[in-house]
Amino acid sequence: MIPINKPLFDEEEVVAVSQVLRSGVLTSRTESASMVGKFERAFAGYVKAEHAFAVSSGTAALHLSLLASEVGYGDEVIVPSFTFVATAETVALVGATPVFVDISLDTYNAIPEEIEKALTQKTKAIIPVDLFGLPADMKPIQEIAEKHGLVVIEDSAQAHGAQYHGMPVGNLAHLACWSFYASKNMTTGEGGMITTSNRSYADKLPYMRTHGEKSEYTSSMIGGNFRMPEIEAAIGYVQLQKLPQFLALRQKNAKRLTAKLQDVGALQLPIVPQDRNHSWYLFTVRLRNGNRDSTVNKLRKLGIGAAVYYRVPIHLMPFYHRFHRNKLPNTEKAAEEVFSLPVNPAVTIDQIDYIAASLRSILH
């Protein structure tokens, strides 16, 4: 099976993990001299943020960012429904209400005008998602936030290496949240990161990440155990050095697959606005007026790891249906019609050609 995504390791990661094990230091609260600190500084430099804080997962990054923004009971947070559940889940975990807005069928990102329409006096924050590796349209979202005094927490979990107006994603948000889950463009196995250039958040996050303790066993603010272990940070530091190579291969595969499928009228291929650079976490197509699930099943029988992401939008999930208040026709249409094809760095040119030829044959 040609996998939809696959972590790529070699001896460098093995050596980095071995060095941590031999050191005997598996976790640390003092990041300056640790692997966590080294990884944080490198990642902050890569995304051009002033500060980076490694955490235990992308979900933890979102959760901690909401806590740091003092979002809680009685507050509302604007989120898309067409995304991984963690985006809304963490809002519910802090006691706030996720308010779902519709997406563009071109980019699968939240529509800024829909965000503004959904605002109420209870709105405290907006969480735009850089879905599939394509940046959300952050300038109008940031303008809305500034106009209404809202916090912007960018969910960049799928967008390592993506750019918006020539800058790494996350730069227009108060906080950006990243995931290093095994399927992502770079991985630590599990793990996440919060980046920010806001001093007030940077002053709080190191303590909130460790139970709110400014001094040992004395909590001065709300927090929890959100720390990243040293082994994960060691893997992450090596993976970050390889990320440009990974991204170049994803770009090459996506470009070739686009060329091979561009004349297939039944498919809407990925649309990348001129002001954005896609990181190609997923190459997602939309099958118009066709049987998406049958097509995916046929591809899988041919050894192609096609996958359907977000088959059930969050607002239609049993727990989250209670928060549903807006009509989301584009979200529901996308959930019924999109599927993703492998373009990860392990996929060869011959395999890209096989994927294209197989899909063309199925849709002929």
CATH number, position 317: 3.90.1150.10
pLDDT at 324: 87
Q: Are residue 213 and residue 298 in the same domain, yes or no? A: no
Q: Which tens digit of pLDDT belongs to each residue from 318-362?
A: 999 999 888 999 999 999 999 999 999 999 999 999 999 999 999
Q: What is the DSSP string of 82-148?
A: SS-THHHHHHHHTT-EEEEE-B-TTT-SBPHHHHHHT--TTEEEE--B-GGGPPP-HHHHHHHHHHH
pLDDT at 145: 98
Q: Which tens digit of pLDDT belongs to each residue from 3-40?
A: 999 999 999 999 999 999 999 989 876 666 699 999 99
Q: Are residue 286 and residue 149 in the same domain, yes or no? A: no
- Which of residues 238, 265, 286 is at a domain's end? 238
Q: Are residue 307 and residue 168 in the same domain, yes or no? A: no
From 110, 150, 106, 107, select the one nearest 129 (Cα to Cα): 110
pLDDT at 289: 85
Q: Are residue 151 and residue 47 in the same domain, yes or no? A: yes
Domain contains 64: yes
Q: Are residue 193 and residue 339 in the same domain, yes or no? A: no
- Which of residues 190, 218, 238 is at a domain's end? 238
Question: Per mean pLDDT, which range of 89-103, 112-126, 193-207, 215-229 is the poorest?
Answer: 215-229
Residues 6 or more apart in contact with residue 189 via CB below 8 angstroms: 7, 180, 181, 182, 232, 235
Domain contains 208: yes
Q: Are residue 250 and residue 213 in the same domain, yes or no? A: no
pLDDT at 30: 62
Domain contains 1: no
State both tokens at 196: 């920010």
- Which of residues 185, 217, 238 is at a domain's end? 238
Q: Which tens digit of pLDDT belongs to each residue from 55-80?
A: 999 999 999 999 999 999 999 999 99
Tell me the residue range of the domain where 192 lies: 11-238
Q: Which tens digit of pLDDT belongs to each residue from 90-140?
A: 999 999 999 999 999 999 999 999 999 999 999 999 999 999 999 999 999
Question: Mind telling me the catalytic residues?
Answer: 184
Q: How many domains does the chain have?
A: 2
Q: Are residue 198 and residue 119 in the same domain, yes or no? A: yes
Q: Which tens digit of pLDDT belongs to each residue from 267-301?
A: 999 999 999 999 999 999 999 988 999 999 999 99
Q: Are residue 203 and residue 249 in the same domain, yes or no? A: no
Q: Are residue 191 and residue 264 in the same domain, yes or no? A: no
CATH number, position 118: 3.40.640.10
Mean pLDDT of 162-189: 98
Q: Are residue 180 and residue 308 in the same domain, yes or no? A: no
CB atoms within 10 A of CB 325: 10
Question: Per mean pLDDT, which range of 67-71, 79-83, 221-225, 243-247 is the poorest?
Answer: 221-225
